Structure 1
Amino acid sequence: MEQINRLKVVLAEKQKTGKWLAESLEKNGATVSRWCTNESQPSLETLVTIAKTLDVDVKELLNSTKKKV
């Protein structure tokens, strides 16, 4: 199954960088980089903050776990 990192996709769609997101959230750039490469995941609270910062619904940052028929 192909793994797609939604955060990385949404950042690209919004023409924003991980560095911009890190500065906006006052997080370490390496932390945001790990989120973008699926090495780690942000907490649910942080995910909500990311969605607000990017002006998207939090669902846009999540992969669907539902199997397509």
Structure 2
Amino acid sequence: MEDLNRLKVVLVEKKKTSKWLAEELGKTPSTVSKWCTNVSQPDLQTLHCIAVLLNVDVRSLLVPNDIHAFQ
């Protein structure tokens, strides 16, 4: 499976833990862990909330893709 988000990297850059994020979002630590390891992905609304909490552009949480690969 390909990585779709950069959540783990951004948390490190912002000196925050996945436990902190789980508490802020009212999610279980195991849910946030799955997001950080790209086992599953947060929905778009949650992704927006994460960006607000971390004070980053939501796009910085996503792995850029090569749009030309689909043409």
Q: Unpaired runs of 5+ in structure 2? A: none
Query: What TM-score does the superposition give when structure 1 sets the normalisation length?
Result: 0.88
Tell me the distance in 2 between the aligned counterparts of 1:29 and 1:39: 14
Deviates more, 1:3-12 or 1:37-46: 3-12
Aligned CA distance change for structure 1 residues 25 and 40 (closer, same or farther; 3 Å): same
Which position in structure 1 is the counterpart of 2:38? 38
Runs of 5+ unmatched residues, structure 1 = none
Aligned length: 66
4+ residue runs over 6 A deviation? none
Is 1:61 aligned with 2:49? no
How high is the sequence identity, in percent, across the aligned residues? 61
Which amino acid counterpart does residue 9 of structure 1 have in structure 2? V
CA separation in 2, counterparts of 1:13 and 1:4?
A: 18
Please provide the CA RMSD for this pair: 1.6
